Amino acid sequence: MNKKIYELAEIIDNDLINENLTEVEREQIADNMKQYLPSGAIVLAQANPLSGDIKYNAQKALKWIKWANRLKVNAIVFPELFLLGYPLGDIVDRFPIVVEENIEWLNALAKFTTDTKVIIGFVNFNNGKIGKRYYNSVAVLSNGKVERIINKTLLPNYAEFNDVRHFESADVDSASRVVYIGGKKAGIIVCEDGWNDFDFFEKNLYSVDPVEVVVNEQHPDFIINCSASITRAKKEQLKHNMLSFVAKKHKTPIVYVNQVGSGECLSFEGASRVYDENGVLTARAKSYEEQFFIVDAEDKDGVINPLPSGLEKTLDSQKAFSLDYEPDLERTYLTIIQSIRDYFKKTGFERAVLGLSGGLDSTVCAVLLADALGAENVCGISMPSRITSSESKNDARQLAENLGINFLEIPIKDIFDVTRGKFDELFAGVEKGWNCRYEKSYTNDNIQARARATILWGVANEFEKCLSIATSDKSEAYMGYATINGDMSGGFAPIADVTKTKLFALAAWMNENRIQKNTIPQSVIEKRPGAELAINPKTGKPLLAEEALMPYEFLDEVIWRVENLHQSIGDMVDVEFLYEKKESVSKSQKQEWLKKFFRRMAYAAYKWSILPPAPIVDARSINKAEFRYPIIASKVNFNKTSEDDKYCSLLNI
């Protein structure tokens, strides 16, 4: 395809965001572009919707549609459920008005359509007597009317997907799925409909493959897949391989349009694309940006925008646990940045306040927030206690200076002292009724963390559009190594799905790859993590996290094995961990760490349940949007017992 088109399309992208052109200018640009457009041109509307705000989505869609109309392309294709805005939560069931409204908005949109067909996701009523109330549907609009409605067949209902909660599965009525676009037959499928090839997957979730049915029965010239598919470690390689395989197998090009932007915990990376009938990638949109992306399903020579560096390698590099996070760091960075930006924008917030301890977690959070919201919208507060080292205080201040964020140092000694004093009286009083006081307790440590959260929430309450930030990371979330109403409290938790070893890598990566180099003081990356809430009596120094837990390199490999390989204690005892290649670990020590992991994990489930929204980054997570561990399941045995043991333990009943 003529590269001139892409240059001119950037003017459109800009106009769609800034509305900076007059109607006359728009027509001139369209006229100019039309000479380069191939006859099969269609637009992939890689756009960012707002969940539940149908008016916003419809108005946005129309801006895009009008540009497609001006260019007289054959069609413009929006992502799955665009009109209602994905993710939906359960609002369609509790508030059916939003479904009624989305159908009226669809009809209103249709009135503005021409020969240029509009393909757009929405929620449709199921008027049959049987089944769920709705379909997950795609409408084809043209010449002022709703020309066709296609209902989704395969409904994912695992991890972050909840399609079966709301939608009925439609039979694959292949004739209804074919629409003429520029004289060619296009077969339309919706997201998961395209993920059930019986040759590509070893196991299949569903008994029908809509792509195969449509291809075999209707022989379309190409397939269009309207999607809303989130980014995750390892997923791009799988997606690429699968789409390429299916296109080649059926000798049918696939045009894949994906949502962009973040919805609470789910991040969509865009990267919409075309595969030709040989399975060769012929065009790919940008990642993490809205784009009015012009393609031709039969063109061999589209623009292939680069993926975030190394993304395609992630599958290979993560078949085994690795401490080399390099291939995934740009994607991780962009995913979190987009998540912060969209969460704030979509909830109406602009500013963030966070505690700066001088440690790794808060440091990384501060950089991510500054990049997502602008340094002027971030306020970092250093809140030293008696235990805080001068190095930590200096690191916090230095970071804030480097970033150019607002900075304050507010010592918490006096709040700690008055609360501590109160506690002496309080606990003596409680002891009169309860003879069960701990000899050693974390109570004093926690006062510090809670005093800090009170300060941060105070700022968030006192200043407009300001959210406080929870700085917990994934390794510590697994261990429950975070204080309720303390460091795990906030309006958003940017790094809750990033393990500690990956955070170190991310910090180093940001120091090298951001425009401003070495923003993060080297001492932050070099020091060993610790909450600085308590003194280790053995060393006389602040207790290090690894002393309280286990080495992070070991811990993070356990997390990786649990999430990716679903391993139990027995599975892990006998495999060699990366950590064991460097440090000798006795078998009993290893077993002790593994048992500690599962014990602490089961008790951490309560903390997960009250953690604020956080972006999903990894291949699997403990994010509430994808995984729920019942808090009452505190006594699961993660260590296999033999059948004999079981028989014997019943014999005594």
Interface residues for a second copy in 147-206 (CB under 8 A)?
157-158, 164-165, 203-206
Q: How far is the CB of 508 from a second copy (least distance, A)?
A: 29
Nearer to a second copy, 336 or 353 (CB): 353
Choice between 66 and 300, CB closer to a second copy: 66
**Nearest of 497, 491, 425, 494 to residue 461 by alpha carbon:** 491
For the segment 273-302, give every residue that binds a second copy (CB under 8 A): none
3 state SS of 587:
helix
Query: Looking at residue 174, what DSSP letter applies?
Result: G
Q: Output the smallest distance, CB 58 to a second copy, in A.
A: 7
Q: Which of residues 385-404 bind a second copy (CB under 8 A)?
A: none
Instruction: State how beta strands 378-382 and 260-263 pair.
Output: unpaired
Tell me if 596 contacts a second copy by CB under 8 A. Answer: no
| CB nearer to a second copy: pick between 14 and 523 | 14
Q: How far apart are CA 353 and CA 355, in angstroms?
A: 7
How far is Cα 609 from Cα 471, in angstroms, rounded to an integer?
16
Least distance between a second copy and beta carbon 494 (Å) = 15
Using CB under 8 A, which of 154, 533, 562, 572 touches a second copy? 562
Task: State the Cα–Cα distance between residues 513 and 547, nearest whole angstrom.
Answer: 32
Cβ within 8 Å of residue 305, ≥6 positions away: 271, 284, 285, 286, 287
- Residue 629 found at the interface with a second copy (CB under 8 A): yes
Cβ closer to a second copy: 491 or 551?
A: 491
CB of 563 to a second copy, least distance (A): 8
How near is the Cβ of 69 to a second copy at its closest, in Å? 12
- Tell me how far apart the alpha carbons of residues 513 and 365 are, in angstroms, rounded to a whole number: 16
Please give the full DSSP string across 218-255, using - where no structure is assigned: H--SEEEEEE--B--TTHHHHHHHHHHHHHHHTT--EE
CB of 451 to a second copy, least distance (A): 8
Q: Round to the nearest angstrom and report the end-to-end CA distance of the chain.
A: 76
Stretch that binds a second copy, among 270-278, 299-307, 430-438, 498-506 (CB under 8 A): 430-438
In the bound state with a second copy, the residue whose beta carbon lies nearer, of 78 and 509, is 78
Q: Closest approach of Cβ 329 to a second copy, in Å? A: 26
Considering only the stretches 33-41, 69-77, 251-259, 564-572, report the one whose residues sit in contact with a second copy under the rule CB under 8 A.
Answer: 564-572
Q: How many CB atoms lie within 10 A of CB 88?
A: 22
Does residue 634 bind a second copy (CB under 8 A)? Answer: yes
Total interface residues for a second copy by CB under 8 A: 135
CA 10 to chain centre: 27
Q: Per CB under 8 A, does 432 bind a second copy?
A: yes
In angstroms, what is the minimal distance from the CB of 252 to a second copy? Answer: 24
Site for a second copy in 474-503 (CB under 8 A): 484-485, 489, 491
- Residue 10 or 104 having the CB closest to a second copy: 104
In angstroms, give the least distance from the CB of 157 to a second copy: 5
> Which residues, numbered 516-535, are part of the site for a second copy (CB under 8 A)?
none
Query: What 3-state DSSP class applies to 518?
Result: coil
Among 441, 513, 516, 589, binds a second copy (CB under 8 A): 441
Stretch that binds a second copy, among 34-42, 97-105, 534-542, 579-587 (CB under 8 A): 97-105
CB half-sphere exposure, 109, CA atoms < 13 A: 33
Q: Where are the beta strands (DSSP E) in 285-382?
A: 291-296, 351-355, 378-382
Report whether 525 contacts 360 (CB < 8 A). yes
The tokens of 608 are what? 């997960």
For position 6 contacting a second copy by CB under 8 A, the verdict is no
Note whether 83 binds a second copy by CB under 8 A: no
Bond before 87 cis per omega within 30 degrees: yes
Q: Of the candidates 3, 219, 582, 640, which one interacts with a second copy according to CB under 8 A?
A: 640
Of 74, 277, 254, nearest to 181 by C-alpha is 74
Tell me which residues in 246-275 interact with a second copy (CB under 8 A): 263-264
**Beta carbon of residue 539, minimum distance to a second copy (angstroms, whole number):** 24
Q: Report in angstroms how near the CB of residue 132 gets to a second copy at its nearest.
A: 7
Residues within window 212-241 making contact with a second copy, judged by CB under 8 A: none
Minimum CB–partner distance for residue 345 and a second copy (Å): 9
Interaction of residue 62 with a second copy, rule CB under 8 A = yes
Single out the segment in contact with a second copy by CB under 8 A; choices: 3-11, 52-60, 306-314, 553-561.
52-60
Q: Which long-range contacts (CB under 8 A, 24 or more apart) does 276-285 make?
A: 276/247, 276/300, 277/247, 277/248, 277/251, 277/252, 277/253, 278/247, 278/248, 278/251, 279/244, 279/245, 279/246, 279/247, 279/248, 279/249, 280/244, 281/240, 281/244, 282/253, 283/1, 285/44, 285/46
**Residue with Cβ nearer a second copy (3 or 198):** 198
Asked if 281 and 244 count as a contact pair (C-beta separation under 8 A), the reply is yes
Residues 103-132 binding a second copy (CB under 8 A) are 104-105, 107-109, 111-112, 129-132
**Which residue carries 């129309």 as its tokens?**
62
Beta carbon nearer to a second copy, 36 or 201 = 201
| The one segment of 4-12, 447-455, 499-507, 508-516 that binds a second copy by CB under 8 A | 447-455
Site for a second copy in 317-376 (CB under 8 A): 342-343, 346-348, 351, 353, 376
- Specify the pairing of strand 117-125 against strand 145-151: unpaired
Q: Based on CB atoms, which residue is closest to a second copy, 169 or 282?
A: 169
From residue 361, give the alpha-carbon distance in Å to each of 202, 396, 495.
40, 12, 8
Compose the 402-421 pattern: x for residues touching a second copy by CB under 8 A, - for all others. ----x-x-x-x-xx--xx--
Position among 31, 100, 199, 316 found at the interface with a second copy (CB under 8 A): 100
Phi-psi region of 251 (alpha: psi -120 to 50; beta: other; left: phi over 0): left
